[in-house]
Chain A
Amino acid sequence: MVVKDSVITDLNNRVKHTMAVYKWLYSISMVLHSIVICLLCYISSSQLVNITGTVLFHLGMAWTDAVVVASMTGFIYLPVILMWAFSRGNTLLTWVKVICFTGITLVTAWLAGALV
């Protein structure tokens, strides 16, 4: 009976230890995931700012005005993209979506000659 109890306690401790390690690993990976997603969102929004400025300039706006308007809209783009990125629970899907979106903005900026 005593032996059985000690085996159960040992098993219980091992499970607790594994759970604690798993919890820490999960927390660290979630923090890293959030940081990288935020960085990607920032990159895509700054590219969108550059593209907006370029488009407005080519539409005839004075270059300083185009910079002002594009920069101001950047602060709308960024929270919207962040909220869109964090609106799904599925981590893999979030990565795919955000990487694709950032890639698209980078390519568009390059095509528009606004990749600086």
Chain B
Amino acid sequence: MKTGFRFSMSALHTWAGLLLSGLLFAIFWTGTLSVFDKEIDRWMMPQTRINMDTAPKLSVDRDIVPLLNSLSESATAWSIVLPSERKPFLGLGYDTKESHIAKRNSFHPVTLDQLPASNTRGASRFIYPFHHNLTLRKSNIGAWLVGIASIGMLCLLVSGIVIHRRLFTDFFSFRVWRSFSRGNLDAHNLTGVLLFPFTLVITLSGLMIAHLIYFPKAPDAVYEQMHPQSAAHTQKTPAKEITSLRQKIDNKSKTPKAREGAGNSPARRRFIGESQGRVTPKASGEFATITSIDPLITATEEELGRGAVYMVRVSNPADAEGVIALRLSSDKSVAQNMDNRRFSVATGADLDHFESSSVTNVFNFLAGMHYVQFDHWPLRWFYFIAGLGACVLIATGLLHWTQARNQKHDGTRFSISFMNVHNLSAVMGIIVATGAFLVANRLFNNSVHFAGVLVPDLEVYVFFSVWMCCVLHGVIRVLINKRSGYIKAWGEQCWAIAFIAISAVVLNWLTTGDHLIKTLFKDTYWPVATIDLLLISSAAIAIFAARKLSANLKLNIGR
């Protein structure tokens, strides 16, 4: 029996790959799509397709504050998300007398009319959450599964380098026309080596930004070390309060966590407040008229550059102790900007500004690098292509295992048949399901209900149902013919992708009137044009793959 480090790493690479690659493909696929989440949102929410080129700049004092006053007189907090190129509408959040849960509505940036509700989750409320928690929010099960897969990915990457004997030679070998198995392995090696820095950093940063889920006790452990003096220095909290907080930590440490990243532990709440500047001021009960906000934004933008302020948050807008916080945009830097400027609601006087520490800025850099919110289109496309490359890396790794065994055993073993179906479902299933999600969105065309079910939920049901149908299709094909049924299934699902992608483009044209000639040349609107072009490209690739698979099947039958 072979032993040694390389052999152990090879076993680790094989087993971790077989067990986690299906999940990893889903995470990387949805992560890649999330790079263009706002653009997919515009495609799925036609009422938000607003061209910002001609929109005049909004005045917070003249346009927004009266609007917020009319919407909710007794709000304890307002949030104003100013329109931007990728999110071309005004977002207002406010609470009401009836409910302290903030209402969030979108408004047209020119007419200030409330936009009709988008009866879809879109990419930002389905594809993106699927990427980081698989939409399994209860007790953070989804986030934990993603975390396990991500740690597995790190082990796969490092073990892949260890077991790769001819790293440099294989880097220049891509024998795609030689045979499928040769080309597949070359593609796996090439994407693995070429994208190693990207996959390593994106996986590591993805884990790090969710550190409060994966290492939930870290803030408590360090907080426990604080003496009353140091705690008082940190947040001017009396010693008695610290003792009671500690007791609360002990009492609450066993309660389930309702939200990601924000557990019930006071230590964690303080950690979030102190490291990210998220402090909610208390109201004094003394009435005050809100000061003019426009000069505050102008002064900040004069100092930091045009468009530096992306959000205004007003805590206690009619209170003398109220605070106006200007959150700074991350458009101009890779690092996520957590700094904010605070002013008094009553006087507009400068309050303490929050600035992240150097260490937190390292974290912000990693977070910003993962979230891709900066305004740099070439880099955004690089992320998208690299993300697709990572998907190819995972898919070719899976296919490599089954390819060798299919040739040897003709797919007659249960484990090989199982993996054939698994690969098909993991790779093709989610792509078909994503296409079906877009088609369903255009078919329901912003209706509220369909057959008594809310359309946003129905779109998600379509996604999962189509995915399950792909699994079933694979099972049936493999059961009918263990030897080559999987090839036929791959080919058929390629045709399904092509059909769905073309249908989505046509349905978008029919339901919104935004065809490609219009969005590209007549009334240029890049977000929609980009998604349409990507759909057409994926249809073309799927047709090419289907034809190749068909030829392969004929060869296989003739063998």
Whether A88 lies near B8 (C-beta < 8 A) is yes
CA distance in complex: A54, B11 (Å): 36
- Assess whether A87 is in contact with B208, with CB atoms less than 8 Å apart: no
A3 to chain B, nearest CB (A): 33
Rounded to whole Å, the gap between the CB of B245 and the closest CB of chain A is: 13
- Which of B5, B226, B230, B366 is A87 in contact with, Cβ under 8 Å? B5
When chains A and B are docked, how far (Å) is the Cα of A82 from the Cα of B13? 12
Partner of B214, one of A34, A54, A74, A87: A74
Minimal Cβ-Cβ distance residue in B for A76: B204
Question: Which chain B residues (1-54) contact chain A, with CB distance < 8 Å?
Answer: 1, 3, 5, 7-9, 11-12, 15
Chain A residues near B1 (CB-CB < 8 A): 89
- B224 pairs with A72, CB closer than 8 A: no
CB distance from A14 to the nearest CB of B (A): 22
Assuming the contacts A79-B158, A88-B8, asked whether A116 and B275 have C-beta atoms less than 8 A apart, the reply is no
Contact partners of A114 in chain B: CB under 8 A:
221-222, 224-225
**Contact between A67 and B222 (Cβ–Cβ < 8 Å)?**
yes
Indicate if the CB atoms of A63 and B223 lie closer than 8 Å.
yes
B12 and A116 contacting across the interface, CB-CB below 8 Å: no
Whether the pair A75, B208 counts as a contact (CB closer than 8 A) is: yes
The answer to whether B215 and A113 touch across the interface, beta carbons within 8 angstroms, is no
Give Cα distance in the complex from A63 to B549, angstroms: 58
Q: Please tell me if B357 contacts chain A, counting CB pairs below 8 Å.
A: yes
Q: Decide if B508 is an interface residue (CB 8 Å cutoff).
A: no
**Judging by beta carbons under 8 Å apart, are B219 and A67 in contact?**
yes
Given A53-B222, A83-B158, A89-B7: A72 and B360 interface contact (C-beta under 8 Å): no
**A113 cross-chain contacts in B, Cβ below 8 A:** 224-225
Given A83-B9, A83-B155, residue A116 in contact with residue B225 (CB < 8 A): no
CA distance A63 to B274 in the complex (A): 10
Contact indicator B218/A50 (Cβ below 8 Å): yes
Task: Across the interface, name the chain B residue whose C-beta is closest to A75.
Answer: B207
Pairwise interchain contact A74-B359, C-beta atoms closer than 8 A = no
* Interface membership of chain A positions 44-83, coded 1 if the CB is closer than 8 angstroms to chain B and 0 otherwise: 0010011001100110011111111111101100110011
A101 at the B interface (CB under 8 A): no
B151 in the interface (beta carbon within 8 A): yes
A95 interface hit (Cβ, 8 Å): no
- In the bound complex, CA of A86 to CA of B7 (Å): 11
Closest Cβ of chain A to B106, distance in Å, is 34
Task: Compute how far the CA of A46 lies from the CA of B221 in the bound complex, rounded to whole angstroms.
Answer: 10
Contact of A57 (CB < 8 Å), options: B8, B225, B359: B225
Q: Is the interface of B mostly helix, strand, loop or mixed?
A: helix
Contacts A79-B151, A87-B8, A116-B224: A67 and B271 contacting too (C-beta < 8 A)? yes
A49 neighbours in B (Cβ, 8 Å): 215, 218, 221
User: Contacts A64-B360, A75-B204, A87-B8 known; A50 to B221 CB distance under 8 Å?
Assistant: yes
Contact of A53 among B155, B218, B253, B274 (CB under 8 A): B218
Q: Which A residues lie within 8 Å of B219 (CB)?
A: 67
| Residues B215 and A46 in contact, CB atoms below 8 Å apart | yes
Taking the nearest CB of chain A, how far is it from the CB of B240, in angstroms? 19
CA distance A53 to B221 in the complex (A): 8
Query: For residue A89, which residues in chain B have a CB less than 8 angstroms away from its CB?
Result: 1, 3, 7-8
Docked CA distance A21–B207 (Å): 39
Residue-wise, chain B 223-261 has the 8 Å CB interface mask toward A (1 for contact) of 111100010001000000000000000000100000000
Residues on A with C-beta less than 8 A from B274 are 64
Q: Are the CB atoms of B234 and A63 closer together than 8 Å? A: yes
- Chain B interface, number of residues (Cβ within 8 angstroms): 43
Interface of chain A, helix or strand or loop or mixed?
A: helix
Chain A CB within 8 A of B499 CB: no
Docked complex Cα distance between A67 and B272 (Å)? 11
B401 sits at the interface (CB 8 A): no
Residues of chain B lying within 8 A (CB to CB) of residue A78: 151
Closest to B366 in A: A72
Residues from chain A with Cβ under 8 Å of B3 in the complex: 89
B225, A82: Cβ atoms closer than 8 Å: no
Instruction: Tell me, yes or no, whether B159 is within 8 Å of chain A by CB.
Output: yes
CB of B518 within 8 Å of the partner chain: no
A94 to chain B, nearest CB (A): 10
- Tell me the smallest distance from the CB of B60 to a CB of chain A, in Å: 31
A74 touching B215, Cβ below 8 Å: yes
Question: Contact at B159–A70, with CB atoms within 8 Å?
Answer: no
Write out the residue numbers on chain A whose beta carbons fall within 8 Å of the beta carbon of B12.
Answer: 83, 86
Q: Mark B189-228, 1 if CB is under 8 A from A, else 0.
A: 0000000000000001001100110110111111111100
CA distance A46 to B225 in the complex (A): 17
- Inter-subunit contact A82/B222 (CB<8 Å): no
Contact B5 A74 (CB under 8 A): no
8 contacts between A and B (CB under 8 A): A68-B359, A68-B360, A70-B218, A72-B208, A72-B362, A75-B208, A83-B12, A89-B3
Given A66-B222, A68-B211; 8 other pairs, CB 8 A cutoff: A61-B359, A63-B222, A71-B212, A79-B151, A82-B155, A83-B158, A116-B220, A116-B221
